[in-house]
Amino acid sequence: MKSNRIPIFNSIRTAVNRFVGLIFLWLSTKAFTWLLTIFGSIIARKKMSHNNGIAASGSIRFVDNPGFPLHPFFEPGKTMPCRVRHAAASFMDDAMRVVRSMSIKMADTNYKSPMDIELNTGETALFWSVASFFRFAKYKKTRFGMQYEEYYRKYPTGVKGAQVGMRRNPTSFSNLTYYSQTPFLYKAEDNVMRYIKYRTVPSEPVPESGILDDYDMKIPSENQRILPGETRSRNYLKDEYVERLREGPVKYKLQVQLHQASDDDDAEIFNCCRKWDEASHPWMDLAEITMNKPLDWAESTKMIFSMKNLPKGLGIIPSFSIYDYNSLNFLRKHSDLARYARVWAIRIFGMPPEIPDSDVRNC
Amino acid sequence: METTKKRRVDKEQIAEVCQECIQRTKISHNPKRSFFHPRLKNLNRIEIHRSKTHGGIFQRFALHCVEFYEGLVRLSHKVHRFIFPRRNKIYGQPSPHHLVTGHLTFGRRKEDADSPVFNMHVELWARTIWGGYRKLSEGKSDRNGQFSLPYNLFYVHRLYIARVWLAVYQTDHEHFNKLGQHSPTFRDFKRIKISKGDLVGIEYCCRQVQLSYWEYRKDTPLPRVVIRDHDKDAPDEYSPGYNETLEKQFIPIELIKLRHIEMIRMNQGLTYEQIVEDYPENLTVCMEKKIPGITRGDDWFGERMMNGMYACDFDRDPKNPNLYWVHHHWGSYEKTYHHYAMPDVDMWFELKDNGLPRPVKITLTGPLTAKEKDQKQKRTFTPGDGEKWLAAKRICRVSAGLYAELAHHFAGTHVNTEQFAIACFRNLRLNPISGLLKSFLRSVVLVNHTADRILIGKGYITTACALTPKGIDQVVYNVMGTLDWKGYRPMQPISAAHTYAKACNLYWDIVFDFVSGFIDDPINRGSILEQWFEIYCFSEDLVNHSVPAFLCHYLQNALLDGNGKMKGNGSTDWYQHHHRMDLNDERPEIDGIKRAVSKITDKKNGHEVTDEDISQLKQACTYMIYQATFGHTWSNSKQYDDIGEVLYCSLGLRFGNGPDGVMGPESDHSIAPDLTRSTQMMWWSNMLSRTGYGFIMANEDGDVPPELRKNLEKHRQEFADLNIDIDIIQSRTNI
């Protein structure tokens, strides 16, 4: 008789597999973090990506009648200080075709906060597990505004992620929609296990700018160069955001999608490269974010967003292997060392220079 | 009265002597090779002058060592397969969410790269650290060439899995088991290594996998296959038994040729008589020994033109319906007139009481001496012209021999079969028609590849007649432009003695019945319709790569009206049309050019198929099998009989040194091919007729459908009555 027909054997085998997988996941995460710490954070004083950003401070207010089972942290009507950092992935040029991001810190500090959320443009991601992220990193090979050529060749899902996530010359950081893509745990007061996805949208309905048109769709995803004859400056988006904040507050809505966990859930529900069906998982308002004041380059650069900054019951979903979809958040959570090392390196070796308006493009 | 009696005796004598000599010169298909004979690795090693044999002690020892090594490798593969069997079991539970994808296309780089390879069997394999094979997934490419193989991500990443690869399989050999069931085997065609680390779930794309798989050549307008290296990456291969048999048959002949070439080089007085004497006795030599002059007579001439290798097209003379007219046109093709005569030939025959033709008039158009320049000069000869009549018949034999070699043999069967073979191997995989055809279409591309080097191009024919390589290409191109499967029937007998046409028709009917039975079989029919897209693509490839349709100016004027249709009112009854292209049929047009080969179907899906499509498929399959087997056997095996004596017939005649030029007597050896060409000629005819492998009835490779063999066996006596031994009908065009 095969062992998997005896439930206890099956359970033991699963437990062993998970344990071995977890060890691999932990080891590979640590190895990656150390490499990133040494070569990225200490020597280059850079984040792995999203270096090109601007932060702002303001407040977040949770909605009064959310219409779904609430977690105690999301107390209706509660207002908290908040910071937001917008950035462009990989390149130090706002006019390039890149993914844009929004990171939310529910405190007016650089590090500590009760909750951090990291979001990117595009409802689906370019990679889906630690293993695929390692491939993503391996095949980066940046040259003259081109990168991930081999990755896109091998992984069509990455191409799809790039096509939905990249934005070409958006008019503002404030009119984009940002998604957390990966699901998190959500244990509400009713103690029912749920999974949650976050997104932010402009508080007033405005058309999202920068979505790739037919022309851009035909350009291979690895080509992230600026358009020929581009006149926008390298900092045009950050400048626009500062200007906008000077004119008045910038408002966003924080929305959530919930999925009630069940034993027969397919693992695909955790796949960040797949959207949840909006008909069965509608987006619901959770909070309103209001940004009032831009932060300078130094303050923006020193900020750290961490997956450890999550309230109890809103943490990451456990993962047991580097191929597990939830392992991405595991990696994020366990790579804080690199983040802190970067800030300490900045303190010791000085702040990296600001991005000049006119310089060599496509880098 | 006296003359009539003498003539009757002559006829009986001819038949008697012929039968006796046929038996005496019958080729043994089980020759013995001496231990001290040189070795020959395969057909591609033969050369007109000095084949790449291995004769020296050290060479043979080295070859034995190589063969021993190859044997060891084969043995090690067997042991390896025994120790590490490739079980037909999928390991790990494939998940539909983790896929290895890609798409298969023909060609390399940009050539042919947009043609998908569909229905190709693909598998995902892994090997463990202790050498075991693990099949992870299997599937096939769809109509766009795309494949998608689900696999178990966690199984792939088990620690003991060392390597992963994608394997693309091609059909290897077709076999029919004792029950007559078709059982093809598959073998690795291409492996694409996949880094284990790259398999991270969701979708890993192998992108475009280009298969250098039965590619069409771009350097010739003919539908020919790309063979870069015959011994390494040819799309087909000979059976091991074929090479072995060929070596046994071929080496004794090669040794004679080498001795002659050496004697010529050393000027040791080699004569034409000695050349003929040294090679195995053929039909005409044997008959001449019994009754001198018998093979130079009119009766024998007429019989061979009708039922010999030449198997001429006997049309009625449009101007005199009582006579039959055979025409060989060489005037339109590029030639050099430095040494060889090559006039256009017109022969007129009347039918004797016994139904055999007797020549009554021969007209030669073109120079007959080296000094003449007029290409249009016509000279007519009749039986009353004595020596000149004999010379004219000799020119006719040579012309007919060359025409049979180039048009009937090389173009009509070899290249013609190749165009079907390429389209078949490129497109037919799951359709039962694949099993029906492939065994007959094997090997032809390899032989043609060798023929490109040694027969046409700068090969033997260019050196042995006036045609230049370009001229030969023109002949083949034009002949191919006249060949179409649609409406084809073998030549209709013009008399009771037309045994060639009778045998062709008998064989055609047998093949047609067999093909019809195969296609009408309910099980086969269902699969044929299910995989009809393969037939559609087969047909498209065939038509798209076919040469333009061709009809010479004379026939255009004589047969067609102003609209390009056949004239009516019986004005074209003189023309034998059954075995020729149907001029009433609408030719398919590709890029504005009307093509020679018709479409088999224009339906892509089985549910759209009509009875007409099915009957066209039957007709096309019958045509392919017929041409690859009987059509080729006839023109190939009869070479030994009809061009196996240099002075009787060769592939070219020189102008000679006499005042009458090529019209001189046989005794003037300055007309015959020179000694080197003569021994090569004998070598050719012997070599081509002595394959000794790949016969339908012998079924050496077990790939001939048993039903066809049964049907043939039933008609053995009927064939025997037509002087055909069914045991010599080849199952493929392999030489």
Model confidence pLDDT, tens digit, residues B124-144: 999 999 999 999 999 999 999
For residues B17 and B21, what is the distance between their CA atoms, to the nearest angstrom?
6
Report pLDDT for A260.
Answer: 95
Strands (E), A63-192: 79-88, 98-105, 116-121, 166-167, 178-179, 184-187
**A359 vs B112, higher pLDDT:** A359
**B107 vs B726, higher pLDDT:** B726
Q: Which residue of B194, B198, B206, B209 to mutate against A (max A Cβ within 10 Å)?
A: B198
pLDDT, tens digit (0-9, with 9 covering 90-100), for B569-610: 777 888 888 888 888 888 899 989 999 999 999 999 999 999
Which range has the worst mean pLDDT, A3-17, B397-411, B670-684? A3-17
Final residue in a domain of this structure, among B595, B611, B637? B637
In a domain, A77, yes or no: yes
Nearest of A257, A263, A322 to residue A119 by alpha carbon: A257
For residues B593 and A338, what is the distance between their CA atoms, to the nearest angstrom?
69
CATH, residue A128: 2.40.180.10
What is the rounded average pLDDT for all residues in chain B?
88
State the pLDDT confidence band at A46, using cuts at 50, 70 and 90. Answer: confident
Would you give the DSSP letter of residue B638? T
Nearest of B269, B395, B326, B402 to residue B661 by alpha carbon: B395
For residue A156, which residues of chain B lie inside 8 Å, CB to CB?
Answer: 101, 203, 205
State the pLDDT confidence band at A4, using cuts at 50, 70 and 90. Answer: low
For residues A285 and A258, what is the distance between their CA atoms, to the nearest angstrom?
12
Structural element, H or E, at residue B654: strand B653-654
Question: Model's pTM, two decimal places?
Answer: 0.86
Q: At what angle do helices B2-24 and B298-307 cross, to 10 degrees?
A: 50
State the pLDDT confidence band at B345, using cuts at 50, 70 and 90. Answer: very high
In a domain, B565, yes or no: yes
Beta bridge partners of B208: B103
In a domain, A354, yes or no: no
Report pLDDT for B383.
Answer: 93
The range of the structural domain enclosing residue A55 comes to: 3-349
Q: Are B641 and B506 in contact (CB under 8 A)?
A: no
Report pLDDT for B11.
Answer: 66
- Three-class SS state of B726: helix
Helix, strand and coil percent figures for chain B, each rounded to 5: 45, 15, 40
Q: Are B642 and B284 in contact (CB under 8 A)?
A: yes
And the tokens for A14? 């699963």
Beta bridge partners of B530: none
For residues B14 and B283, what is the distance between their CA atoms, to the nearest angstrom?
12
In a domain, B715, yes or no: no
What are the residues whose beta carbons fall under 8 Å from the beta carbon of A135, sequence distance 6 or more? A127, A151, A154, A155, B197, B198, B200
In a domain, B148, yes or no: yes
Can you tell me the mean pLDDT for B627-651?
A: 90
Q: Do A155 and B205 touch (CB under 8 A)?
A: yes
For residues B167 and B349, what is the distance between their CA atoms, to the nearest angstrom?
61
Which range has the worst mean pLDDT, A136-140, B27-31, B432-436? B27-31
Q: Looking at CA atoms only, how far is residue B129 from chain A in angstroms?
A: 19
Nearest of A208, A168, A177 to residue A86 by alpha carbon: A177
* β-pairing verdict for B589-590 and B593-594: antiparallel
Q: Looking at CA atoms only, how far is residue A44 from chain B in angstroms?
A: 28
Report pLDDT for B298.
Answer: 92
CATH, residue B454: 1.20.245.10
Which range has the worst mean pLDDT, A17-31, A341-355, B223-237, B314-328? B223-237
Percent of chain A with pLDDT over 90: 84
Report pLDDT for B31.
Answer: 64
Final residue in a domain of this structure, among B211, B231, B265? B211
For residues B174 and B440, what is the distance between their CA atoms, to the nearest angstrom?
10
Report pLDDT for A48.
Answer: 83
Q: Are A186 and A271 in contact (CB under 8 A)?
A: no
The range of the structural domain enclosing residue B509 comes to: 403-637
Report pLDDT for B3.
Answer: 39
In a domain, A363, yes or no: no
- Three-class SS state of A155: coil
Would you give the DSSP letter of residue A170? -
Q: Are A273 and A130 in contact (CB under 8 A)?
A: no
State the pLDDT confidence band at B33, using cuts at 50, 70 and 90. Answer: low
In a domain, B327, yes or no: no
pLDDT, tens digit (0-9, with 9 covering 90-100), for B536-547: 999 999 999 999
Nearest of B196, B190, B76, B77 to residue B134 by alpha carbon: B196
pLDDT, tens digit (0-9, with 9 covering 90-100), for A271-324: 999 999 999 999 999 999 999 999 999 999 999 999 999 999 999 999 999 999
Beta bridge partners of B150: B99
In a domain, A362, yes or no: no
In a domain, B172, yes or no: yes
- Three-class SS state of B198: helix
For residue A268, which residues of chain B lie inside 8 Å, CB to CB?
Answer: 97
Q: Looking at CA atoms only, how far is residue B165 from chain A in angstroms?
A: 15
In a domain, B156, yes or no: yes
In a domain, A279, yes or no: yes
Can you tell me the mean pLDDT for B497-523?
A: 94
For residues A283 and A64, what is the distance between their CA atoms, to the nearest angstrom?
16
What are the residues whose beta carbons fall under 8 Å from the beta carbon of B78, sequence distance 6 or more? none
Nearest of B493, B326, B497 to residue B399 by alpha carbon: B326
What are the residues whose beta carbons fall under 8 Å from the beta carbon of B13, sequence distance 6 or more? B291, B294
For residues A66 and B21, what is the distance between their CA atoms, to the nearest angstrom?
107
Report pLDDT for B403.
Answer: 94
Instruction: For chain A, say whether B197 makes contact (Cβ under 8 Å).
Output: yes
Which range has the worst mean pLDDT, B2-6, B246-250, B389-393? B2-6
State the pLDDT confidence band at B51, using cuts at 50, 70 and 90. Answer: confident
And the tokens for A310? 């999550």
Domain count of the fold of chain A? 1
Instruction: For chain A, say whether B228 makes contact (Cβ under 8 Å).
Output: no
Report pLDDT for B63.
Answer: 80
Nearest of B198, B133, B139 to residue B161 by alpha carbon: B133
- The verdict on ipTM greater than 0.85 is yes
Report pLDDT for B306.
Answer: 93
Least CB-CB distance to A156: which of B97, B201, B205?
A: B205
For residue A125, which residues of chain B lie inside 8 Å, CB to CB?
Answer: none
Q: Looking at CA atoms only, how far is residue A112 from chain B in angstroms?
A: 34
pLDDT, tens digit (0-9, with 9 covering 90-100), for A146-200: 999 999 999 999 999 999 999 999 999 999 999 999 999 999 999 999 999 999 9
For residue A155, which residues of chain B lie inside 8 Å, CB to CB?
Answer: 200, 202-205
Nearest of A199, A197, A221 to residue A126 by alpha carbon: A221
For residue B154, which residues of chain A lie inside 8 Å, CB to CB?
Answer: 17, 321, 323
In a domain, A112, yes or no: yes
Neighbouring CB atoms inside 10 A of B216's CB total 22
In a domain, B529, yes or no: yes
Report pLDDT for A86.
Answer: 96
For residue B207, which residues of chain A lie inside 8 Å, CB to CB?
Answer: 153-154
- Three-class SS state of A85: strand
CA distances from A5 to A14, A264, A265, B155, B481 (A): 13, 18, 21, 19, 68
Q: Are B151 and B94 in contact (CB under 8 A)?
A: yes
For residues A96 and A49, what is the distance between their CA atoms, to the nearest angstrom?
14
In a domain, A330, yes or no: yes
Q: Looking at CA atoms only, how far is residue A277 from chain B in angstroms?
A: 17
Q: Are B219 and A154 in contact (CB under 8 A)?
A: no
For residues B225 and B216, what is the distance between their CA atoms, to the nearest angstrom?
5
Final residue in a domain of this structure, among B164, B195, B211? B211
For residue A153, which residues of chain B lie inside 8 Å, CB to CB?
Answer: 205, 207
Least CB-CB distance to B205: which of A154, A271, A273?
A: A154
For residues B118 and B146, what is the distance between their CA atoms, to the nearest angstrom?
8
Nearest of B535, B541, B547 to residue B416 by alpha carbon: B547
Q: Which residue of A4, A10, A323 to mutate against B (max B Cβ within 10 Å)?
A: A323
Q: Do A157 and B204 touch (CB under 8 A)?
A: no
In a domain, A257, yes or no: yes
Can you tell me the mean pLDDT for B550-565?
A: 82
Residue B9 scores a pLDDT above 80: no
**B240 vs B427, higher pLDDT:** B427
In a domain, B270, yes or no: no
Domain count of the fold of chain B? 2
Q: Are B249 and B692 in contact (CB under 8 A)?
A: yes
Can you tell me the mean pLDDT for B219-247?
A: 86
